[in-house]
């Protein structure tokens, strides 16, 4: 049984805390957050001990693995502290908002450091199956990838202010999804729009973006993001190759369909947001982390994958601001 410390006890931590109930091989023994009530809330539900001392939790000799769920600005220091203490790390995305700091961390941790990044969508059963079938060669040579990702409703301007902006906070998942299929992206072109919340213009951020990416193989990808989709969380994937295409569609809360004089095949709106849509993915992510820890092999997505996705986010922002195509190698 792998014993974990969880650092940070907010929104995403509550979701990960639930995953421990689904996985026999993992036990949460400490949850640390400077906001004592938050730590106690998760501790009460899981049987873990609450603490306000993140470093103490990381260095606790009973702790073998650290799950970092604290704000992005804390990730680099906490990953370093956990690696220095000899612990395996599963860290939420993104590595940092500063590509320089993230790259320095990547360069300075030992090559055999056990670090995995929390790009949960790789573990969604539908997206994972598409990837496994592509790896087996079902589509032949890949030619095009389309990722559509729209949130149900905009985050508040207060959230956006500290989030790092749409590319580093939201599109980062889609950059990683593209790299799941096309790891070697060499060129990025992006445009942004402001059609939902004028407050974002002052924050120099966008509420929708479209990004085109070219890989070294010649295959291309498109990412479509919006901060608002009135019909629910819109999460779709299409992978197209010389021998066919695989698609993963949106998910509904139930299979009920309504038919009447003025409508057919009417359903509820899609699963509301990431906590609902990716609940299973978070559990599969934790299971994959524990399996790698116990079974050997390299952690994937790795810290380098985290830095690579961040590099694409920086390239996309440069492109959206300059109106030019950006070579990833120049970033
Ligand atoms: N993979 C995903 O789908 C996903 C979804 C949401 C958030 N995230 C990421 O998870 C991280 C946390 O986001 P959130 O929405 O849960 O934030 P949140 O604000 O809800 O929770 C963060 C918690 O961390 C605590 N904290 C602050 N500094 C700390 C420190 N030094 N040590 C320990 N705890 C500390 C805060 O008190 C708070 O309780 C962010 O990096 C975010 O990008 C990932």
- Ligand 1 closest atom vs CA 72: 41
Let me know: does 266 contact 258? Beta carbons within 8 Å: yes
Q: Are residues 150 and 70 in the same domain?
A: no
> Residue 99: pLDDT band by 50, 70, 90 thresholds?
very high
Q: What is the pLDDT of residues 142-177, one digit of tens each?
A: 999 999 999 999 999 999 998 999 999 999 999 999
- pLDDT above 90: residue 308: yes
Let me know: does 118 contact 90? Beta carbons within 8 Å: yes
**Of 69, 121, 301, which is best to mutate to test ligand 1, by the most ligand atoms within 8 angstroms of its C-beta?**
69
Quick one: pLDDT at residue 220? 98
- What is the domain count for the chain? 2
Quick one: pLDDT at residue 195? 95
Is the CB of 279 within 6 Å of ligand 1?
no
**Of 71, 81, 97, which is best to mutate to test ligand 1, by the most ligand atoms within 8 angstroms of its C-beta?**
71
Q: Percentage of the chain surpassing pLDDT 90?
A: 97
Q: Are residues 272 and 128 in the same domain?
A: yes
Could you tell me the distance, in angstroms and rounded to a whole number, from the CA of residue 259 to the centre of ligand 1? 43
C-alpha distances out from residue 156 to 72, 74, 160, 230, Å? 17, 22, 6, 16
Judge whether 300 lies within some domain.
no
Range 225-241 average pLDDT: 97
Residue whose entry in the numeric block shows the structure tokens 């729009």: 193
- Domain of residue 247, CATH code: 3.30.360.10
| Strand-strand pairing, 258-260 and 234-241 | unpaired
Quick one: pLDDT at residue 193? 97
Q: Are residues 33 and 139 in the same domain?
A: no
Residue whose entry in the numeric block shows the structure tokens 């019909």: 231
Q: Are residues 41 and 144 in the same domain?
A: no
- Ligand 1 closest atom vs CA 7: 33
Q: What is the pLDDT of residues 260-282, one digit of tens each?
A: 999 999 999 999 999 999 999 99
Q: Are residues 73 and 144 in the same domain?
A: no
E strands, 153-304, in order:
185-193, 208-215, 220-226, 234-241, 244-248, 258-260, 263-266
Quick one: pLDDT at residue 137? 98
- Cα separation, 97 vs 71, in Å, equals 11
Is the CB of 33 within 6 Å of ligand 1?
yes
- Domain of residue 73, CATH code: 3.40.50.720
Q: Are residues 181 and 322 in the same domain?
A: yes
> Residue 141: pLDDT band by 50, 70, 90 thresholds?
very high
> Residue 253: pLDDT band by 50, 70, 90 thresholds?
very high
**Of 5, 7, 12, which is best to mutate to test ligand 1, by the most ligand atoms within 8 angstroms of its C-beta?**
12
Q: Are residues 145 and 263 in the same domain?
A: yes
| List of residues 6+ apart from 134 with CB closer than 8 A | 142, 181, 239, 241, 246
Is the CB of 52 within 6 Å of ligand 1?
no
Question: Of 47, 76, 92, which one is at a domain's C-terminal end?
Answer: 92
Q: Percentage of the chain surpassing pLDDT 70?
A: 100
Is the CB of 10 within 6 Å of ligand 1?
yes
Q: What is the pLDDT of residues 3-50, one digit of tens each?
A: 999 999 999 999 999 999 989 999 999 999 999 999 999 999 999 999
- Ligand 1 closest atom vs CA 10: 21
Q: Are residues 84 and 226 in the same domain?
A: no
Q: Are residues 260 and 174 in the same domain?
A: yes
> Residue 296: pLDDT band by 50, 70, 90 thresholds?
confident
Q: Write the DSSP string, 64-88.
A: -EEEE-S-GGGHHHHHHHHHHTT-E
Range 213-232 average pLDDT: 97
Could you tell me the distance, in angstroms and rounded to a whole number, from the CA of residue 40 to the centre of ligand 1? 16
Range 40-64 average pLDDT: 97
For residue 158, the tally of other CB atoms under 10 A from its CB is: 9
Judge whether 80 lies within some domain.
yes
Q: Are residues 276 and 220 in the same domain?
A: yes
Could you tell me the distance, in angstroms and rounded to a whole number, from the CA of residue 247 to the centre of ligand 1? 31
Range 283-302 average pLDDT: 96
- pLDDT above 90: residue 256: yes
Q: Are residues 87 and 40 in the same domain?
A: yes
Could you tell me the distance, in angstroms and rounded to a whole number, from the CA of residue 11 to the centre of ligand 1? 7
């Amino acid at each position: 049984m792998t014993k974990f410390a969880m650092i940070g006890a907010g929104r995403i931590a509550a979701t990960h805390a639930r995953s421990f109930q689904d996985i026999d091989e993992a036990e949460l023994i400490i949850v640390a957050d400077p906001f004592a009530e938050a730590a106690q809330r998760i501790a009460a539900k899981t049987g873990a001990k609450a603490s306000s001392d993140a470093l103490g939790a990381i260095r606790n000799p009973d702790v073998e693995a650290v799950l970092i769920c604290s704000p992005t600005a804390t990730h680099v220091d906490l990953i370093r502290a956990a690696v220095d203490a000899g612990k395996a790390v599963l860290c939420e995305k993104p590595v940092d908002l500063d590509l320089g700091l993230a790259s320095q961390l990547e360069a300075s941790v030992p090559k055999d450091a056990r670090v995995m990044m929390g790009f949960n969508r790789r573990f969604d059963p539908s997206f994972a199956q598409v990837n496994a079938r592509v790896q087996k060669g079902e589509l032949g040579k890949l030619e095009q990838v389309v990722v559509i990702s729209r949130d149900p409703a905009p985050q508040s301007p207060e959230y956006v202010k500290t989030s790092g902006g749409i590319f580093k906070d939201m599109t980062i998942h889609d950059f990683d999804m593209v790299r799941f299929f096309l790891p070697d992206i060499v060129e990025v072109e992006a445009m942004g729009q402001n059609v939902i919340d004028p407050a974002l213009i002052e924050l120099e951020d966008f509420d929708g973006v479209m990004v085109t990416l070219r890989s070294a193989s010649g295959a291309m990808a498109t990412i479509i993001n919006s901060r608002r989709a009135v019909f629910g969380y819109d999460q779709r994937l299409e992978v197209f190759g010389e021998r066919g295409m695989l698609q993963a569609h949106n998910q509904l809360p139930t299979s009920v369909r309504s038919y009447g004089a003025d409508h057919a095949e009417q359903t509820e709106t899609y699963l509301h947001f990431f906590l609902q849509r990716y609940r299973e993915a978070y559990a599969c992510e934790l299971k994959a982390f524990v399996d790698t820890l116990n079974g050997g092999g390299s952690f994937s997505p790795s810290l380098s994958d985290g830095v690579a996705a961040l590099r694409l986010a920086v390239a996309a922002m440069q492109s959206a601001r300059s109106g030019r195509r950006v070579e990833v190698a120049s970033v």
